[in-house]
């Protein structure tokens, strides 16, 4: 509450009316029929045309990273409380829309409990809506990006990527240099609007069993829980139901294949994840002749493996366009933000997958679309936030270094409160936050 008041102090005062939810508490029904017996049933739950199940499970994944939770009484009780809360939120948001009759509705992100009801209610009442998301420019300052759809919508993001590349704000030469700087910074662990995942890896280090006489294929997985939280658009139309299933299929089809070797570089963001969708991967590689797994915490260089490989297989991580930029043929096996950008080959069935993966003469996709993606991730096209704009920074306290947002315009005391909230508050919040952690039994056991 203190931090919210601090932020409101810097918000505009004129022509802005703040509506507290308490004013609309009479609209809350408090009698909701909620029941489910599986994650799939949970995801399908709707209330007033709002996919409440997807919203609460997405929020749960952000906190827990438990992709396959056990559906026990603890989990059901936790979810019933969350579902009741979002139903109440839907009631209040609907009451506000009906009373204010807005010309347009805007919310941030559109994925989680506090955002999805706003988007889907606006859609149900045929009210134009805008979803915003934060990005960072080349100076690591926050900028606001707006979409007339959800921020993860594949079609709109593809249009947005093309619009950025075709804008006349900067010259084509400038855009190319900025895009190239994104790829350069990524592989050299320099801040470029995202976490630095390879900073603990040893530059140039390859696996001990690397054999340059073989046709080497690099497999790069991603944080599967992050993709699962984005919504059903990312779940439908992919080659496999999960990355685990996809990697298992690759091993079953290509192990003992003469002249080929496959290396799975496990995403570094999974190194502290103890759930089976990560840990079970290692069992898949036991006693395999053509497959080697590189653990998430290994010092082996992701970029050295990509550079030395003849082909790259990805499941939606940023390394897809990065490998394409490096001149590698890339095979994409899941939906992601660059699915429609034509910087990777996307098989539609197992026969097409075999043809693409086993073709030793497969050429890389044109460089242009990889450059478009790099410019999309890293550019100065958007204006800085007018209110409470911030940049990413870090501060060392004792032996620990904390990344946090530094807000423009804050007084020295306000900056201290902001730092204390973001660094100390969030660390304690996530450390002591209670949520169901038990994982269900599955084939990945």
Using the predicted structure, report yes or no on whether residue 244 has a pLDDT greater than 80: yes
Using the predicted structure, report yes or no on whether residue 423 has a pLDDT greater than 70: no
Mean pLDDT of 412-439: 66
Least confident among 84-93, 280-289, 339-348, 432-441? 432-441
- Tens-digit pLDDT profile for residues 360-387: 999 999 999 999 999 999 899 987 766 5
The chain-wide mean pLDDT, for the chain, equals: 86
- Tens-digit pLDDT profile for residues 183-193: 999 998 887 76
**In this predicted structure, what is the pLDDT of residue 444?**
47
Q: For residue 415, what pLDDT band results from cuts at 50, 70 and 90?
A: low
**In this predicted structure, what is the pLDDT of residue 443?**
47
**272: CB partners within 8 A, 6+ apart:** none
Using the predicted structure, report yes or no on whether residue 445 has a pLDDT greater than 60: no
Mean pLDDT of 228-245: 75
Closest C-alpha to 113, from 41, 38, 39, 60:
60
Strands 129-136 and 105-108 turn out to be: parallel
Mean pLDDT of 264-268: 94
Q: Measured between alpha carbons, how far is 1 from 390 in angstroms, rounded to an integer?
A: 20
> What whole-number percentage of the chain has pLDDT above 70?
83
What is the tally of helices (H) and strands (E) in the chain? 17, 10
407 in helix, strand or coil? strand
Domains in the chain, start-ordered, CATH in brackets? 2-11+23-127+389-432 (no CATH), 196-364 (3.40.50.2000)
């Amino acid at each position: 509450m203190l931090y919210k008041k601090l932020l409101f102090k810097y918000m505009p005062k004129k022509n802005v009316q703040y509506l507290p939810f308490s004013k609309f508490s009479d609209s809350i029904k408090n009698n909701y029929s909620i029941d489910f017996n599986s994650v799939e049933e949970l995801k399908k739950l709707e209330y007033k045309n709002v996919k409440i199940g997807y919203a609460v499970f997405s929020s749960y994944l952000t906190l827990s990273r438990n992709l396959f939770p056990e559906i026990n009484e603890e989990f059901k009780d936790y979810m019933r409380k969350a579902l009741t809360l979002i139903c109440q939120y839907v009631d209040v948001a609907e009451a506000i829309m009906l009373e204010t009759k807005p010309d347009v509705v805007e919310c941030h992100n559109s994925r989680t409990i506090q955002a999805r009801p706003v988007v889907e209610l606006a859609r149900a009442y045929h009210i134009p809506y805008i979803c915003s998301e934060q990005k960072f420019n080349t100076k690591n300052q926050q900028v606001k990006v707006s979409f007339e759809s959800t921020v993860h919508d594949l079609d709109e993001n593809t249009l947005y990527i093309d619009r950025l590349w075709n804008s006349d704000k900067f010259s084509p030469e400038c855009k190319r240099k900025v895009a190239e700087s994104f790829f350069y910074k990524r592989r050299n662990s320099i801040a470029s609007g995202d976490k630095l995942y390879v900073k603990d890896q040893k530059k140039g280090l390859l696996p001990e069993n690397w054999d340059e006489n073989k046709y080497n294929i690099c497999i790069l997985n991603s944080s599967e829980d992050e993709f699962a939280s984005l919504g059903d658009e990312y779940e439908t139309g992919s080659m496999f139901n999960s990355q685990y299933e996809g990697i298992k299929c690759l091993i079953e089809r290509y192990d003992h294949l003469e002249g080929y070797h496959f290396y799975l570089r496990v995403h570094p963001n999974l190194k502290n994840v103890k759930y089976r969708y990560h840990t079970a991967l290692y069992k898949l590689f036991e006693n395999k002749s053509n497959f080697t797994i590189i653990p998430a915490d290994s010092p082996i260089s992701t970029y050295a493996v990509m550079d030395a490989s003849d082909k790259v297989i990805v499941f939606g991580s940023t390394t897809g366009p990065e490998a394409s930029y490096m001149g590698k043929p890339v095979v994409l096996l899941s939906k992601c933000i660059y699915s429609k950008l034509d910087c990777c080959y996307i098989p539609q069935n197992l026969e097409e997958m075999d043809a693409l993966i086993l073709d030793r003469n497969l050429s890389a996709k044109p460089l242009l679309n990889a450059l478009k993606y790099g410019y999309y991730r890293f550019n100065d096209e958007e204006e800085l936030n007018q209110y409470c704009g911030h940049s990413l920074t870090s501060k060392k306290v004792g032996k620990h270094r904390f990344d946090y947002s530094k807000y423009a315009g804050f007084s020295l005391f306000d900056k201290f409160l902001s730092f204390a909230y973001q660094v100390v508050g969030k660390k304690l919040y996530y450390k002591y936050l209670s949520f169901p952690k038990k994982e269900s039994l599955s084939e990945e056991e």
